[in-house]
Structure 1
Amino acid sequence: MANLLLYVSLFLIWGMLFYHAFLMIGGYLHSLKFEKFKRKLTVPSHGYPTVSVLIPAHNEEVVIEDTIKSMIKLNYPKERLEVIVINDNSSDQTGSIIDKYAEQYPFIKAVHTKPPHAGKGKSGALNQGLANSSGELIIVYDADNTPEPDAVRNLALGLANDDKAGALVGKFRVVNAQKNLLTRLINIETLTFQWLAQAGRWFWFKMTTIPGTNFAIRRSILDRLGGWDEKALSEDTELSIRVYNLGYYIRFFPAAITWEQEPETIGVWWRQRTRWARGNQYVIMKYFLTFYKLKNKKVFLDLFYFLFTYFLFFGGIILSHGIFIVNLIVDLELTIGLVSYALLLIGFLLFVTEVCLALSMESNQLTWKNFFIVLLMYFTYSQLWVFLVVRSSYLEAKRILLGQEVKWYKTQRFKQDTDHKSAV
Structure 2
Amino acid sequence: MLSFINNFNFVIFILFTVCYSYQIIYAFVALFKKPKELTPKKLHKYAVITAARNESAVIGELIKSIKNQKYPSELVDIFVIADNCTDNTAEVARKAGAIVYERNNKELVGKGYALDFIFKTIATQYSDANYEGYFIFDADNLLDENYIAEMNKMFDSGYRILTSYRNSKNYDSNWISAGYSLWFLREAKYLNNPRMLLNTSCAVSGTGFLVHSDIINKNEGWKYHLLTEDIEFSIDSVINGETIGYCGNAKIYDEQPCTFEQSWNQRLRWSKGFYQVFGKYGLSLVKTTFQKHCFSAYDMFMTITPAIFVTLTSILFNLSCLIYGIFSLTASPKIIPTTLGAILISFFNFYIVLYAFGLLTTITEWDQINSTPFKKILYTFTFPVFIFTYIPISIVALFKKIEWTPINHTVVKSIEEVR
Q: TM-score band (shorter)?
A: 0.7 to 0.9
Question: Residue 353 of structure 2 aligns with which residue?
Answer: 350
Aligned ranges 1:295-374 → 2 under 5 Å: 298=294, 299-320=297-318, 323=321, 333-334=334-335, 340=342, 345-364=348-367, 367=373, 369-374=375-380
Q: 1:21 and 1:13, CA in 2 relative to 1: closer, same or farther beyond 3 A?
A: same
Higher RCO (C-alpha under 8 Å, 6+ residues apart): 1
| Deviation readout 1:1-40 (Å, 9 max, x if unpaired) | 5753564345335543565564244245235544x42x22
Aligned ranges 1:227-266 → 2 under 5 Å: 227-266=221-260
Aligned residue type for 1:60: E
**Matching residue within 86, 95, 102 for 1:112:** 102
Structure 2: gaps of 5 or more residues: 123-129
Question: Residue 389 of structure 2 aligns with which residue?
Answer: 384
* CA distance in structure 2 between the partners assigned to 1:205 and 1:259 by the alignment: 26
| Deviation readout 1:129-152 (Å, 9 max, x if unpaired) | 222334111111111000111112
Structure 1: gaps of 5 or more residues: 103-107, 400-405
* CA distance in structure 2 between the partners assigned to 1:251 and 1:199 by the alignment: 9
**Structure 1 position 153 matched with structure 2 position 156:** no
Using the TM superposition, give the Cα deviation of residue 345 of structure 1 relative to its aligned residue in structure 2, in angstroms. 4.1
Q: 1:376 and 1:248, CA in 2 relative to 1: closer, same or farther beyond 3 A?
A: closer
Secondary structure, aligned partner of 1:55: strand
**Matching residue within 75, 80, 97 for 1:80:** 75
Which stretch shows the higher mean deviation, 356-365 or 240-249? 356-365
* CA distance in structure 1 between the partners assigned to 2:3 and 2:265 by the alignment: 37
* CA distance in structure 2 between the partners assigned to 1:74 and 1:237 by the alignment: 28
Q: 1:61 and 1:8, CA in 2 relative to 1: closer, same or farther beyond 3 A?
A: farther
Aligned residue type for 1:306: I
**Structure 1 position 96 matched with structure 2 position 100:** no
Q: 1:112 and 1:369, CA in 2 relative to 1: closer, same or farther beyond 3 A?
A: closer
Secondary structure, aligned partner of 1:141: strand
* CA distance in structure 1 between the partners assigned to 2:176 and 2:82 by the alignment: 30
Secondary structure, aligned partner of 2:258: coil
Aligned residue type for 1:176: N
* CA distance in structure 1 between the partners assigned to 2:71 and 2:318 by the alignment: 53
Question: Residue 105 of structure 1 aligns with which residue?
Answer: none
Contact map agreement 1:10 1:320 (CA 8 A) in 2: no
Using the TM superposition, give the Cα deviation of residue 94 of structure 1 relative to its aligned residue in structure 2, in angstroms. 0.4
Task: Give the share of equivalent positions with the same residue, in percent.
Answer: 18
Residue-pair matches, total: 400
**Structure 1 position 129 matched with structure 2 position 118:** yes
Which stretch shows the higher mean deviation, 271-280 or 181-190? 181-190
Using the TM superposition, give the Cα deviation of residue 186 of structure 1 relative to its aligned residue in structure 2, in angstroms. 2.2
Aligned residue type for 1:236: D
Q: 1:254 and 1:81, CA in 2 relative to 1: closer, same or farther beyond 3 A?
A: same
**Structure 1 position 141 matched with structure 2 position 137:** yes
Aligned residue type for 1:94: T
Using the TM superposition, give the Cα deviation of residue 325 of structure 1 relative to its aligned residue in structure 2, in angstroms. 6.7
Using the TM superposition, give the Cα deviation of residue 264 of structure 1 relative to its aligned residue in structure 2, in angstroms. 1.4
Aligned residue type for 1:72: K
* CA distance in structure 2 between the partners assigned to 1:342 and 1:230 by the alignment: 41
Question: Residue 200 of structure 2 aligns with which residue?
Answer: 206
* CA distance in structure 2 between the partners assigned to 1:337 and 1:412 by the alignment: 43
* CA distance in structure 2 between the partners assigned to 1:115 and 1:59 by the alignment: 14
Contact map agreement 1:246 1:296 (CA 8 A) in 2: no
Contact map agreement 2:286 2:298 (CA 8 A) in 1: no
Q: 1:216 and 1:381, CA in 2 relative to 1: closer, same or farther beyond 3 A?
A: same
Which stretch shows the higher mean deviation, 25-34 or 276-285? 25-34
Using the TM superposition, give the Cα deviation of residue 188 of structure 1 relative to its aligned residue in structure 2, in angstroms. 2.1
Which stretch shows the higher mean deviation, 253-262 or 309-318? 309-318
Question: Residue 402 of structure 1 aligns with which residue?
Answer: none
**Structure 1 position 412 matched with structure 2 position 408:** yes
Question: Residue 399 of structure 2 aligns with which residue?
Answer: 394
Q: 1:89 and 1:322, CA in 2 relative to 1: closer, same or farther beyond 3 A?
A: same
Which stretch shows the higher mean deviation, 148-157 or 199-208? 199-208
Contact map agreement 1:2 1:323 (CA 8 A) in 2: no
Q: 1:184 and 1:314, CA in 2 relative to 1: closer, same or farther beyond 3 A?
A: same
* CA distance in structure 2 between the partners assigned to 1:279 and 1:245 by the alignment: 18
TM-score, normalized by length of structure 1? 0.83
* CA distance in structure 1 between the partners assigned to 2:302 and 2:183 by the alignment: 22
* CA distance in structure 1 between the partners assigned to 2:155 and 2:4 by the alignment: 50
Using the TM superposition, give the Cα deviation of residue 412 of structure 1 relative to its aligned residue in structure 2, in angstroms. 1.6
CA RMSD of aligned residues (A): 3.1
Contact map agreement 1:82 1:135 (CA 8 A) in 2: no
Question: Residue 23 of structure 2 aligns with which residue?
Answer: 23
Secondary structure, aligned partner of 1:173: strand
TM-score, normalized by length of structure 2? 0.84
| Deviation readout 1:275-300 (Å, 9 max, x if unpaired) | 11111111110012355775856324
* CA distance in structure 1 between the partners assigned to 2:242 and 2:58 by the alignment: 34
* CA distance in structure 2 between the partners assigned to 1:48 and 1:101 by the alignment: 24
